[in-house]
Structures are given as structure tokens and as C-alpha cells.
Chain A
């Protein structure tokens, strides 16, 4: 799968007997998945999407090309992707998690610390999980102006000025 494709959901199985599907949405607001249609599968098949309701742990929807329960059963587990360029532009100092993951993290002296493995948020602001050869179990760096003064997506570099005791 192309790296510029972003997984926004998956088909969890059939819903009812009239060709509806249960849908898992990974977007920040579950219903937003409909705004990114048409969605593409790993094998290149494209689906238009109409949401039909909400259920426990997901949504129900109709996908173009899936009209029977058997087709919906077959599609179970299929991941749904959208091209990165279909996501809306972000504000200043706002970045998609997908854009930050994989960037090289350097300190202010130019020494490489590692790469961003994940972006986490436990309620006290966003944290970059950086993994590198010199970081035992990965370091967590708060994503703030003070600690991360430079984010250069084009060159794939993040400059960090970690406070004492962070790494």
C-alpha cells in the first residue's frame, strides 16, 4: 500500500440481511469518514459510502457495489483508505499524526536522537514517542513550541530542545 494512503476505517461485517455493513471509523469524529468518500481498499477497489446509523462500537453504512449480505460478509476485515491529499489543510502549528510519524528527531546540536514512532495524547497535551538506538524504551517529548521549536515536514526533520531530565 502506498504510504500516501491513510487508513480511515474498516469493514467489520454485515449488518442485517439487506447488504448494509458495520463500519469501524478511525477518524477523530466517527461520522467524518463519510466526508472522505470514495474510499479505496488495498486491492484498489473504490467504494462510495452512505452512513445509515450508529451501533455499539461503530457505524452502519451502505457501500456502493455491496448489495447483499453475502457480499458484506466477504468484505469483512477490509481496510478503507483515502489519499493523504484529500484531508483538509491544517492550521498553523497543527500537524496530522501521519505527517509527524517517521520524522527524524535531532537535538539542537544536530545529533540524531531517533525517529517519531507514535503521537500520543493522554489528556495533558500531545507527546511524541521517539525511538532510537540510544533511547532504551523510547522517549516521550511534549509537542510544545518551547521543547520542539522546529518541525520541517519537507525535509523530514524535527529539532528538539529537551529540558533536563526528559531523555
Chain B
């Protein structure tokens, strides 16, 4: 069942605090978080979070199209390398 709208999106309070502090400082840093369950909010766009996957903090740069998803979706807990073949990486 979907979460009730009247409650608003769930975010752990410490994530909000850390994000606000990082935005105020204006420094380019990775915000380490353990809260995979928190929702990505519009005020996080442009920040880089290190989302814990049980082993290390995976850097996740927040963009507009991630709003409403959970942090954990971008930090898989199992690693699969697969084959490179003709796959390309684009430097943004």
C-alpha cells in the first residue's frame, strides 16, 4: 500500500540537517549517510551523498529526475561487474 499523502515524504532528520549544513557551507564535499530509506527531496539536487551499502559509501550526485526515489535505489548492496563489451561511459 502506498504511503499516505498527508504524512509527506519520509526523510531521516539527520539527513536533512547534514544536507542543510553542506549547502550553507558551500563546500564541495560528499555527505556520508547511512539512511537508505530516506526520500530524495528537491532541496538535495546538486549535492553529492555517499550512500552506505553495507560495505562502503557509494557516491550519488543528486539530479532532478531522482526526486521522490529513495537513496538506497542508487547504492546496490550486491556487486555485479558483468562484461564491458561495447559499453560506454560519458563524462558529464
Contacts and interface: CB of A to CB of B under 8 A. Distances in A.
B73 to A, nearest CB: 7
Contacts of B85: 6-9, 26-28, 97-98
Interface in B22-55: 27-32, 48, 50, 55
Interface string A1-28: 0000011110000000000000000111
A90 B48 CA distance: 28
Interface string B47-91: 010100001101111110010000001111001011111111111
A90 B30 contact: no
A96 B90 CA distance: 9
Interface residues of B, number: 34
Contacts of B7: none
A97 B84 contact: yes
B17 interface: no
A157 interface: no
A94 B90 CA distance: 4
Nearest to B48: A163
A121 interface: yes
Contacts of A9: 85
B58 A140 contact: yes
A95 B88 contact: yes
Contacts of A140: 56, 58-59
Contact of B92 (A90, A96, A100, A125): A125
Contacts of A166: 30, 50, 59
B91 A163 contact: no
B81 A118 contact: yes
B44 to A, nearest CB: 12
A165 interface: yes
B12 to A, nearest CB: 19
Contacts of A49: none
Given A122-B58, A126-B89, 12 more contacts: A95-B89, A96-B84, A118-B81, A119-B87, A123-B74, A124-B59, A124-B60, A126-B90, A142-B48, A143-B90, A163-B30, A166-B50
